[in-house]
Every structure is written in C-alpha cells, then in structure tokens.
Structure 1
Amino acid sequence: MFDSVKGFGLTFSTMFKKRVTIKYPDVPQPAAPRYHGRHVLNRHPDGLEKCVGCELCAWACPADAIYVEGGDNTEDARYSPGERYGAVYQINYARCIFCGLCIEACPTRSLTMSNSYELASDSRADLIYTKEQLLAPLLPGMEAPPHAMRLGANETDYYVQGPTNPGASAGAERPDRSEPKEVVR
C-alpha cells in the first residue's frame, strides 16, 4: 500500500512541472561540434576527388560497412590527382557504428564526418549511400571531374605542397613559412 502511494506521489509531483520537450522535426537541434555524423568525400580546390581508391577505410572499418573499388585514372579521364581513384564507393549506414576509424585510416584526408544526423529511412536499401551521395558539392571555381590537373603537374603538388592559391581548400590560408618571425621582449 505504501509503495503505491509513494509511486503516485511521484507521478503527481511531476504532473505540474514545466515540460522539457523539443520540437525536433520542425526545429532541428544543432549537433555538438565533434559529433560523428554522415560521411563526406572531399574534393581538391579544382574539383578533383581526394579519394585515391586505396581501400584503407574499408579495411579499418570494424563493422564492414564500407565498400571501395579502385579504378585507374587515364589522361583522358582523370578523377583524382593520383594513379587511382575510388570508382565505386559505398557506405552502409545500417551497419556503420560511427566510430571514425575510417577517417583515421584515410591517408589523403578525403573522408571526413559531418554533423548531419538525419539518416532515418523506411527501407534498408536507402541506407546504402553511394559515391554520388557522399561527394562534397562543387563550390564556385570547381570543375566537375574528369578533367586535367589544375593545381600542379603531379600529385605531389596536390598532397605535399598543398594548393597554390591560399584559402582555396577549407577556406583557410596557409601560414607564411618563408622567414621566422622575430620575437621582441
């Protein structure tokens, strides 16, 4: 008897408190800055894909959610600066555990995770994202591949030296490393 009165007391005490609800579908909540959401395949400032089809992300995935099939670039059809590119790229979000190990395994930093968390679907087939769905959109000044390399003569110009025009990649300028700055005390 005493337990049921105690239980009803808790119910009645919370009945008149202010409700803490969010209007999620109408007003989406912002995710935390380091939230692991949907994957994004990044591009170079000229529009070429950063993915070189090495398949390291697929090997690092503990859930076996990533499938990559590499293809060879030719002079007529160049999709990335290297010899190869990711011809087929799929991520199965029904299997993905959003651990981020694929991001750490990527040698070219082509794969990153966004803050997008809306992945719900009525069908499991809709949860398999293809390369076209994962690729970052073309920004102003970018050209859709295949095309020739615009930022240098070889892939070293893309991956080691970086872009020649400051601010082209990720909107950040490269620091000036020509001379060390003098410190005044």
Structure 2
Amino acid sequence: MPDFLKPVSGLRVTFGGMFQPSITEQYPEEKRPTAPRYHGRHQLNRHPDGLEKCIGCELCAWACPADAIYVEGADNTPDERYSPGERYGRVYQINYLRCIGCGLCIEACPTRALTMTNDYELADDNRADLIYEKDRLLAPLPPGVEPPPHAMAPGSTEENYYRGEITSDGRVTPLPTPTVREGAREPRP
C-alpha cells in the first residue's frame, strides 16, 4: 500500500460509522429502566411499625472512602424513641457531590438500615440541594403507621425488631424455627 493511503485506511471505521443509522435516546421524555442491582440514591429504611432502623453507629461514615456521609447519633429516651435500640441517628447527611456510589456504606451497616435505590436523577443547579438530609433519605411511612417517636411494640425486644418479627400494626409474630431435614446431620455439641 502506498504511504499516502495509510491515513485514509486508518479512518475506515470512522467512515463506516458515518453511514449507519444513529441510535438516539429520548432521555427526559422516555426513561429506560435501570438494572435491578443499580446503585442510585441512598435510602434509610424503617421497621414495619415506623421506627427507624438506623442506630447512629456511624459505621457507614467510617466506611465511606469519599467522606460523603456525616452521622451524629443520640440516645433514645422512654418519652422519645426513634429506633428500637439505645441510640438513633439524630443527624444523617449524604453529600452527593462527593459520593462515588461504591456501596461500601451499605455493606458496613449492621442493621441494614441503609440501602441504595434505583433513583439515578441526582443532578441539580444548586450545590446545597445535593446534600441530602435525613428527611429526604428516610423511607416513606407505610399507610396507617404512626410516625416516630413512639414506643416499641408491646412485649417486644430489640431482638424481635432485628429478626423482622414486628408487623405494621405493632404486634410481635415470632418466625418459625428452622427444622432439621431428614437425613441431615445434627450439629455437634
């Protein structure tokens, strides 16, 4: 091949793409669904009776490599109870200007209070609006549930909450204990 044709042969892919139909997405009008495991906006979850799962331990803030999470814990009192534990997250902030969406905060949470939703529209024209406070991060209350602060379900313990034995109407329904299958070995003493 002559030397003067070498630059033209390098543009073969470019010229080939010029004559193919373009693929255009109409994003704001037509939103495509995200993948099921997509990491989007964070959410602070609640127990079925409305109490918050966050216990203010600050492990998510320690695990964040971008220093995007700020948590300030406070003690629950008998008059004001926001979570079933001794403490709750009084202040909870996530700075989405810093968040890299890695999910390490989710893995660090001992109560599964923090999860990530599929919501990916986090752009804004004001930097202050990208620092999400607790009121924007909390999951909505189920219908007919009293917002915290309120007492734990009657006759319940923290363990009932962490096992998922509390219903939305504030009753304790113990989970069935697993049975040993036939032919399975018994655990050693």
Give the TM-score category using the shorter length.
0.7 to 0.9
Of 16, 28, 39, 2:31 maps to: 28
Structure-1 residue corresponding to 2:164: 162
**Stretches of structure 1 lacking an aligned partner (at least 5 in a row):** 169-173
Q: Does 1:39 align with 2:42?
A: yes
Q: How far is 1:130 from its partner?
A: 0.3
Structure-2 residue corresponding to 1:104: 107
Aligned positions of 1:100-139 closer than 5 A: 100-139=103-142
| CA RMSD after TM alignment | 2.3
**CA distance 1:8–1:102, change in 2 (3 Å):** closer
SS for the counterpart of 1:71 is strand
Q: How far is 1:7 from its partner?
A: 7.3
Q: How far is 1:52 from its partner?
A: 0.5
| Sequence identity percentage | 66
**Quick check: which has more Rg, 1 or 2?**
2
With normalisation by structure 1, the TM-score equals 0.84
Of 119-128 and 144-153, deviating more is 144-153
User: C-alpha separation between the residues in 1 aligned to 2:107 and 2:12?
Assistant: 52
Contact kept? 2:59, 2:105, Cα under 8 Å = yes
SS for the counterpart of 2:106 is helix
Q: Does 1:60 align with 2:63?
A: yes
Q: How far is 1:70 from its partner?
A: 0.6
With normalisation by structure 2, the TM-score equals 0.82
Q: How far is 1:107 from its partner?
A: 0.6
Render the CA deviation track for 1:11-31: whole Å, top value 9, x for unaligned. Answer: 554344221111111111111
Q: How far is 1:141 from its partner?
A: 3.9
Render the CA deviation track for 1:79-106: whole Å, top value 9, x for unaligned. Answer: 0011110000000000011111111111
User: C-alpha separation between the residues in 2 aligned to 1:182 and 1:141?
Assistant: 43
